């Protein structure tokens, strides 16, 4: 298949593009580097530096290529930033996606796999509600502009799909983590907001200390519990979604390992893998952080034939640590302005 991968130089998009090429697909990447890194360009991929907001550039790309499908990763995805700058998120994530959808319809591109998020659920376990694994029939109730853009985009795609205009599948990730199993590709953000990379940066001396938020949640050790899913397992899910598109268009699938790890467990695992006893500060809880988020991925297992292969915590941390020791990570990291290296 000839695939357009939007945001294909970002974290999850680059891994999926790499795997798609490895499996014989022809990959075209659209990424304006606002959040991606050109060092993540997979060998064999064609790259256009363009924004979904630029309809003229988008038209040129579609006119020059006959795509069989789109993997749509391009989006701003920082929760805190979305609260501070909601207009930026609505314009980029929604308007850009609408431009993409309309070009797909104009050029008769049949299907799209959406990079969605567990943030569409918000906090599904309000006071008094028993905790459990989150299934796809939980209501969408996002708590921040980022989550609302993804939930709204799912609803938009559902409307188009019901009218027979476009086939799509939405993949709702839980906590994406890890790196290419051989350590040749991985995560570099500016600023970094994800827990495992922050802990690894601290272990490697790139940060003075790490901070965790909230230690008095009603969980076994007082810290939040999260479901971490390996990025390579996520990449595989996107290609399976393309294969199963005709059978399951319009469906949403949770992607998680179905096991929760507390933040303290993650800290101790990183210390074990790196063999560094770094400093961790315990801060107050962040407003809106749910105490417990663990996926049920039964639907993806049964309908897509997907199951995570790399998503135990030690494997995730080991692969991420291998990537952090790769000179490419160091080269990319050194380009990040020093004022942002302590942000978390």
Tens digit of each residue's pLDDT (9 = 90 or more) over 163-215 = 998 999 999 999 999 999 999 999 987 678 899 999 999 999 999 999 999 99
Give the domains, in start order, of the chain with CATH numbers: 2-340 (3.40.50.720)
CA distance 62 to 109: 9
Res. 339 pLDDT band, cuts 50 70 90 = very low
Supply the pTM of this predicted model.
0.94
- Rg (alpha carbons) of the chain, rounded to whole number: 19
Q: Is 146 a catalytic residue?
A: yes
Catalytic residue among 11, 18, 76, 146: 146
> What mean pLDDT is predicted for residues 86-106?
96
pLDDT tens digits along 106-149: 999 999 999 999 999 998 887 666 789 999 999 999 999 999 99
């Amino acid at each position: 298949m000839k695939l357009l991968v939007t945001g294909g130089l970002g974290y999850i998009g680059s891994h999926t593009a790499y795997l798609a090429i490895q499996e014989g697909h022809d990959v075209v990447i659209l990424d304006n580097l606002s959040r991606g890194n050109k060092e993540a360009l997979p060998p064999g991929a064609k790259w256009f530096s363009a924004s979904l907001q630029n309809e003229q550039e988008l038209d040129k790309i579609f006119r020059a290529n006959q795509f069989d499908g789109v993997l749509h990763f391009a989006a701003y995805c920082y929760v805190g930033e979305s609260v501070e700058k909601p207009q930026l998120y609505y314009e980029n994530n929604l308007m850009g996606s609408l431009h993409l959808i309309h070009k797909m319809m104009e050029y008769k591109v049949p299907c799209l796999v959406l990079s969605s998020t567990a943030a569409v659920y918000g906090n599904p376990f309000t006071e008094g509600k028993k905790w459990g694994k989150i299934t796809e029939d939980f209501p969408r109730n996002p708590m921040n502009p980022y989550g609302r853009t993804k939930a709204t985009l799912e609803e938009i795609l559902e409307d188009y799909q019901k009218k027979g205009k476009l086939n799509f599948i939405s993949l709702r990730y839980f906590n994406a983590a890890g790196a290419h199993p051989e350590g040749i590709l991985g995560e570099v953000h500016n600023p970094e907001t994800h827990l495992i990379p922050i802990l690894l940066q601290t272990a490697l001396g790139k940060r003075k200390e790490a901070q965790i938020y909230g230690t008095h949640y009603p969980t076994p050790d007082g810290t939040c519990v999260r479901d971490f899913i390996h990025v390579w397992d996520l990449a595989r899910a996107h290609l399976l979604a393309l294969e199963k598109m005709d059978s399951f268009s319009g469906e949403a699938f949770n992607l998680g390992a179905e096991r929760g790890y507390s933040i303290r467990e993650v800290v101790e695992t990183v210390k074990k893998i790196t063999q560094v006893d770094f400093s961790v500060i315990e801060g107050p809880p962040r407003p809106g952080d749910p105490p417990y988020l663990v996926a049920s991925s039964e639907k993806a297992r049964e309908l897509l034939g997907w199951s995570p292969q790399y998503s135990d915590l030690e494997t995730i941390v080991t692969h991420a640590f291998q990537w952090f020791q790769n000179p490419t990570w160091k080269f990319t990291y050194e380009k990040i302005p020093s004022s942002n290296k302590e942000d978390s």
